[in-house]
């Protein structure tokens, strides 16, 4: 076990320009996240080998978060490579927030999801509580397209928080397929002449058919987008589910159901995995670095799941659902390997980093 951090750090030498000491600290942090199931630096200070005092190790971790920064573009490409995610990508946009004392910890996250895996690739630490702005959402999607190219997005899903005329115009204009839930109180205009709220049509079979078939747009959108949107509806008396899309509205409803995966992702970064809520960090740059390290640990766990089960399905219980998620399958196996079979853990770590065939040494900087 004492040689495991050294083995991980040696692999990182080709991919970072950090000093040996900071590469070792990076390896200890990721191992600590997995083994201790916490990101609290006080708990992780005991993960270093050697005679140094706990207080010295704790200060070493603090200095790492104070001075080390990842390049966000390099990190996004790296995470996609580590998890072996192939384009075009299904994306989910959502926000998670909590309070540390009087401070808001508010993260806008763009995640890539597959049938098995879900992984954050781009995010922004918001400087306030409450929802994100349209400009922030557009900037995040714009960064993704700039990194992975036009046509790299198979579908973008999001909840009702992410609406607005400028936002929908941006998605349509850039031909980004989306399935986004919208509020029934929004006003729209249809090509067949209807003017009014979505809720007025969503409550009748005829109205739902008009929403599916007649192109339309929201009130206030430019005339260029008059027939750009269609709407899928699941009628519920208390709160109908209305999904706006620029593709097939029937498929949009089914696709929107997959949005729940990002809630599972947030749970895996918290109580089901790394317990990110244990941190007391509030500085945006440090929080962004923390999520980057957690994302790398998640990619390692997913690789362990693939090594363990291959292409076979995860066993299901009598109720039909999988007994464990792909992440937890790999995460639990990785924790056991680190303790009892470190060679397997190291081999999996080395294998996922070999996928980065053109390492860029200007990726991690010290400030």
Q: What is residue 237's predicted lDDT score, i.e. its pLDDT?
A: 63
Q: Find the helix packing angle between 72-82 and 134-148, rounded to 10°.
A: 60
Residues 149 and 28 in one domain: no
**What does the pLDDT read at residue 367?**
56
Examine the domain organization and report whether 246 and 125 are in the same domain. Answer: yes
User: Residue 229 carries which DSSP code?
Assistant: B
Tens digit of each residue's pLDDT (9 = 90 or more) over 288-339: 999 999 999 999 999 999 998 877 777 777 777 777 889 999 999 999 999 9
Q: Residue 13: which residues within 8 A CB-CB, separation 6 or more?
A: 23
Quote the pTM value.
0.93
CATH number, domain with residue 105: 3.90.350.10
Domain housing 311: 4-70+299-366
Question: How many structural domains is the chain composed of?
Answer: 2
Residues 134 and 214 in one domain: yes
Cβ pair 150, 223 in contact under 8 A? no
The residue ranges of the chain whose pLDDT is under 70 are: 1-2, 237, 356-367
Give pLDDT tens digits for 237-269: 678 899 999 999 999 999 999 999 999 999 999
140 and 220 together in one domain? yes
Cα dist. 306→84, 294, 312 in Å?
Answer: 10, 19, 9
- Distance between CA atoms of residues 112 and 148, nearest Å: 12
Cβ atoms of residues 228 and 249 within 8 Å:
no
pLDDT at position 2 is 59
pLDDT computed for residue 363 by the predictor: 59
pLDDT for position 20: 93
């Amino acid at each position: 076990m004492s040689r495991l951090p050294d083995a991980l750090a040696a692999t990182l030498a080709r991919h970072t320009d950090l000093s040996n000491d900071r590469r070792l600290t990076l390896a200890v942090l990721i191992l600590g996240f997995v083994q201790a199931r916490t990101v609290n630096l006080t708990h992780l200070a005991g993960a270093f080998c050697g005679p140094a005092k706990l207080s010295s190790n704790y200060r070493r971790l603090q200095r790492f978060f104070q001075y080390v920064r990842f390049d966000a573009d390099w990190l996004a490409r790296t995470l996609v490579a580590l998890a072996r995610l192939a384009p075009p990508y299904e994306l989910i946009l959502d926000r998670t927030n909590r309070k540390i004392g009087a401070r808001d910890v508010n993260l806008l996250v763009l995640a890539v999801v597959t049938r098995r895996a879900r992984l954050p690739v781009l995010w922004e630490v918001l400087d306030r509580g409450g929802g994100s702005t349209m400009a922030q959402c557009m900037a995040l999607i714009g960064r993704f397209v700039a990194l992975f190219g036009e046509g790299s997005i198979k579908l973008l899903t999001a909840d009702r928080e992410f609406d607005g005329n400028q936002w929908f115009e941006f998605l349509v204009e850039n031909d980004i397929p989306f399935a986004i839930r919208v509020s029934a109180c929004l006003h729209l205009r249809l090509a067949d002449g209807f003017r009014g709220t979505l809720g007025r049509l969503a409550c009748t079979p005829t109205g739902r058919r008009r929403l599916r078939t007649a192109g339309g747009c929201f009130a206030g959108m430019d005339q260029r987008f008059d027939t750009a949107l269609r709407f899928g509806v699941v009628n519920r008396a208390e709160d109908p589910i209305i999904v706006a899309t620029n593709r097939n509205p029937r498929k949009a409803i089914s696709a929107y159901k997959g949005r729940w995966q990002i809630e599972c992702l947030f749970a895996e970064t918290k109580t089901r995995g790394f317990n990110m809520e244990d941190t007391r960090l509030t500085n945006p740059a440090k929080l962004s670095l923390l999520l980057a390290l957690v994302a790398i640990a998640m990619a390692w766990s997913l690789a362990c799941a693939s090594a363990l089960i291959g292409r076979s399905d995860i066993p299901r219980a009598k109720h039909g659902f999988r007994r464990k998620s792909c992440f937890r399958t790999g995460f639990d196996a990785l924790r056991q390997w680190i303790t009892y079979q470190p060679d397997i853990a190291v081999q999996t770590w080395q294998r996922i980093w070999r996928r980065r065939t053109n390492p860029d040494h200007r990726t991690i900087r010290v400030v």
